[in-house]
A and B are shown apart, each in its own frame.
Chain A
Amino acid sequence: MKKIAKTINVSEIAERENSLVKEIFSPLSGMKLTMSRMVQNLTGQVSPTINYPEERRSYSDRYRGAHILTAREDGTPRCVACYMCATACPADCIYIEPKEHPDPHIEKQAARFEIDMLRCVFCGFCVDACPEEAIIMSRETEITAFSRGETMWDLVRLMKRPELKEFGMGYRPNETLVDSQVMFVPTEKVQKKMAGRITLKEDVEMIPNVTYKVQDDEKQ
């Protein structure tokens, strides 16, 4: 006997299951979910979103945001224009021009130092390469601007960073090795309302200086 393959009429089943009752109640079951979520949100039980920019998330103190150029005690840049950062940079976005430093024991300094923030991939290689702790990173993430020219951050822009009191300092692995200063960052701890996925509307303390410590035997 010839075997006949079994066929299923899909639309028939669909029609059978699509009863009138279900047709009436299915929107209501969807609405139930929506309403319960709304109640949960309103009562503050669950909230995946925050009120940016009034509220900001707290990033790790090793966060790699916009760069900072550090200064010597007299306020001049620490950078000696050694081009280590420019050599290490995979995005080729650091431009440096050197000049003579009046002190022969320092000898060289940067006359121009520019980072193209649109090209930068925030890998932090420049920070790792720098032998002078002249370049470190902040937790600043907002580098938007009205023109492309403004996204080229120059020496002054990279050094004087009043906005850092909001964001705090970022990746800075060699802090304990070299005595470098950061210009225009208030030293008192900044209190700021922060939000996170779990800790909703809790007060989170921002730490303006990094606590990453290098082990003694690593120092050499």
Chain B
Amino acid sequence: MPKITIDDLEIEAKDGQTVIQAALEHGLDIPHYCYHPDLPIDGNCRMCLVEVEKMPKLTPSCTTVCGEGMKVTTNNERVKMAVRGVLEFLLINHPVDCPVCDQAGECRLQDYYMVYGLHTSEIAMDMKVHKRKVVDLGEMVVLDQERCVLCSRCIRFFDHVTGTGEMQFFGRGDHTVIGTIDDRPLDNPYSGNVVDICPVGALTSRDFRFKCRVWFLNSTDSVCGGCSTGCNVRVDHRDGNLFRLLPRRNIEVNKSWLCDEGRLSFHELENGERLHRPMVKGEDGMQAPVKWSDALRAIDVNLKDCRQAFGANAILGLASASATNEALFLFKEYLKEQIGTAQLEFRLDHEDQKVTEKEDDILRHTDKRPNSMGAIKLDLMSRDLNGLDGALAAARDGRLKAGVIIWFKPLVRRDGDEQIEAKVAELINALQYSVVFTTHKTTWLKDANVVLPVTAWSEEEGTYTNYQGRVQKIGRAIRPKGDALPLWEAFAMLLETSGSKRLWLSAAEVFAGMSETIPAYQGIALEQTRLPGALVTA
């Protein structure tokens, strides 16, 4: 553990840490382009030059390992002049496309120019070396060779993270360009990450292209709802619309990466029409909009009637592993404590086995539900039914009469999704009385007795438990349209209607209640579920 001094600040660096790593960890900023915490070090951009006592020349801080007693200066005149020189070199052939460049506003060239540069360019616009613009690199990425600062972050990403090695430098000197051989499209499932790691506007997102200038966006921290990995994301939104997902660095889960499917998963919410009002089927067999309170009272009365007639175990509770822990906990509270049924299930397609099954060696898991581990820890697995198929069979031969069903469509699609949805539809058809909590309109909803609109991913607060058993907080980015309520709130109201003594007034309160009663969550406070998340006890 070498002790070093950076600008009067004494730091105890970790063994083998470089100066820039130690500085960034302690909140000191050293300008850099090529250094990235999750990529191998290259040391090619020379923006990170610092002065080290007793070293004759300035040295790049990203390649200099901390040594005992090192004295580093990052902000004296000599360093500033050197950094300004590097910046001037990098900008010699830069097109300064800022008005049309999607990176503007979060561009390292712009930021460092304002701090270190502010020089007048000696190079006239028509003397600059021109390269190719708007090069199509597949579904995710658009390349502009002129804007590249040749930091090789993208190359190192494809060489060391995905191992696909698509990108390379071509040419020499001024004429060096970044690209793929013959402009081949980047078709690996993680290509979107190079857009984030490119410090300038050379690689920009195809999906986000021209959608919004970044300074108009608001950000909310959340967790991806695309699979059981639970990658940490930042949701960028404006005026109630989602614009993009960016990875948030969590070394324990996703490092700085996100898969392409997850990155685009929010578009799935835009497919199809949203449900806006609670609907109850009347005497005439037609669904009519009602108030939430009326719908909930009807559900409570009907389920209790059913219990009286056929026993509590004729009532099915089919949850979804796309719901938050809070919602699942209150779902269980209501159906187990108030109704008394033991027929609680969440497995649509063997999620309990798939939850830890890797789809590839980087991030993805085959279970495309974000909270299967949460449902497992809440024990929503009836030994009797053993999954959706069992429930369907039981409903067909009349063992199950009524059902409370939570249905969220998966945000990342896989083969077989249609069959599962068809089974759920069939189940609702087979049940005499069915209540469906869902987000989007579907054709089969007309068979349900009660349909209740709930909020989708990004519209509610709560926690997910990922495949490692890591409880992570998700945030509410936007408000739902119409009367949709968060699922936990719907069940909290149902509990109140049914006469439960304890009232649940916020998602945080529900989490506190859950950590009191559920052994796996014992002793976890909501605060701990932020970065890097809290592990549940096995």
Asked if A pairs with B, the answer is yes
Residue with the highest number of chain A CB atoms closer than 10 Å, among B98, B133, B213, B215: B213
A73-112 interface code vs B (CB 8 A; 1 in, 0 out):
0000000111110010000000000111000111110000
Residue with the highest number of chain B CB atoms closer than 10 Å, among A84, A105, A106: A105
- Contact residues, A47-86 vs B (CB, 8 A): 80-84
Instruction: Give the docked Cα–Cα distance between A84 and B215 (Å).
Output: 11
| Contacting pair B134 A83 (CB below 8 A) | no
Instruction: Give the docked Cα–Cα distance between A98 and B97 (Å).
Output: 16
With a cutoff of 8 Å between Cβ atoms, the chain B residues found around residue A80 in the complex are: 99-100
| Contacting pair A107 B120 (CB below 8 A) | no
| Contacting pair A83 B213 (CB below 8 A) | yes
* B276 → A minimal CB distance (Å): 27
| Contacting pair A104 B215 (CB below 8 A) | no
Cβ-defined partner of B134 (8 Å) among A82, A84, A107, A132: A107
| B210 at interface, CB cutoff 8 A | yes
Instruction: Give the docked Cα–Cα distance between A104 and B215 (Å).
Output: 24
| A215 at interface, CB cutoff 8 A | no
With a cutoff of 8 Å between Cβ atoms, the chain A residues found around residue B98 in the complex are: 82, 131
* A131 → B minimal CB distance (Å): 5
With a cutoff of 8 Å between Cβ atoms, the chain B residues found around residue A98 in the complex are: 210
| Contacting pair B99 A131 (CB below 8 A) | yes
- Contact residues, A179-217 vs B (CB, 8 A): none
Instruction: Give the docked Cα–Cα distance between A100 and B100 (Å).
Output: 10
- Contact residues, A127-170 vs B (CB, 8 A): 131-132
Instruction: Give the docked Cα–Cα distance between A83 and B212 (Å).
Output: 9
With a cutoff of 8 Å between Cβ atoms, the chain B residues found around residue A106 in the complex are: 100
B contact face: mostly helix, strand, loop, or mixed: loop
With a cutoff of 8 Å between Cβ atoms, the chain B residues found around residue A100 in the complex are: 209-210
With a cutoff of 8 Å between Cβ atoms, the chain A residues found around residue B209 in the complex are: 100
* B302 → A minimal CB distance (Å): 49
With a cutoff of 8 Å between Cβ atoms, the chain B residues found around residue A9 in the complex are: none
Instruction: Give the docked Cα–Cα distance between A104 and B97 (Å).
Output: 11
Residue with the highest number of chain B CB atoms closer than 10 Å, among A82, A131, A220: A82
Residue of A nearest to B209 (CB): A100
Instruction: Give the docked Cα–Cα distance between A98 and B211 (Å).
Output: 8
| Contacting pair A108 B210 (CB below 8 A) | yes
Interface size class of B (residues with CB under 8 A): 10 to 19
Residue of B nearest to A100 (CB): B210
With a cutoff of 8 Å between Cβ atoms, the chain A residues found around residue B210 in the complex are: 81, 98-100, 108
* B230 → A minimal CB distance (Å): 34
Given A87-B213, A99-B210, A108-B210, A82 contacting B99 (CB threshold 8 A): yes
Instruction: Give the docked Cα–Cα distance between A220 and B123 (Å).
Output: 12
| Contacting pair A87 B99 (CB below 8 A) | no
With a cutoff of 8 Å between Cβ atoms, the chain A residues found around residue B133 in the complex are: 104-105, 107
B90-107 interface code vs A (CB 8 A; 1 in, 0 out):
000000011110001000
Residue with the highest number of chain B CB atoms closer than 10 Å, among A80, A98, A100, A220: A98
With a cutoff of 8 Å between Cβ atoms, the chain A residues found around residue B216 in the complex are: 83, 87
Cβ-defined partner of B215 (8 Å) among A87, A105, A108, A220: A87
- Contact residues, B211-238 vs A (CB, 8 A): 213, 215-216
With a cutoff of 8 Å between Cβ atoms, the chain A residues found around residue B104 in the complex are: 82
Residue with the highest number of chain A CB atoms closer than 10 Å, among B99, B209, B210, B213: B99
| Contacting pair A220 B120 (CB below 8 A) | yes
With a cutoff of 8 Å between Cβ atoms, the chain B residues found around residue A105 in the complex are: 133
Instruction: Give the docked Cα–Cα distance between A99 and B210 (Å).
Output: 7
* B323 → A minimal CB distance (Å): 36
With a cutoff of 8 Å between Cβ atoms, the chain A residues found around residue B120 in the complex are: 220
* A76 → B minimal CB distance (Å): 14
Besides A81-B210, A132-B99, 17 more A-B contacts (Cβ < 8 Å) are A81-B100, A82-B98, A82-B99, A82-B104, A87-B216, A98-B210, A100-B209, A104-B134, A105-B133, A106-B100, A107-B100, A107-B133, A107-B134, A108-B99, A108-B210, A131-B98, A131-B99
Can you list 11 A-B pairs, Cβ within 8 angstroms, ordered by A? A81-B210, A82-B99, A82-B104, A82-B213, A87-B213, A87-B216, A104-B133, A107-B97, A107-B100, A108-B210, A131-B98
Q: Which 5 A-B pairs have the closest CB atoms?
A: A82-B99, A104-B134, A108-B100, A104-B133, A98-B210
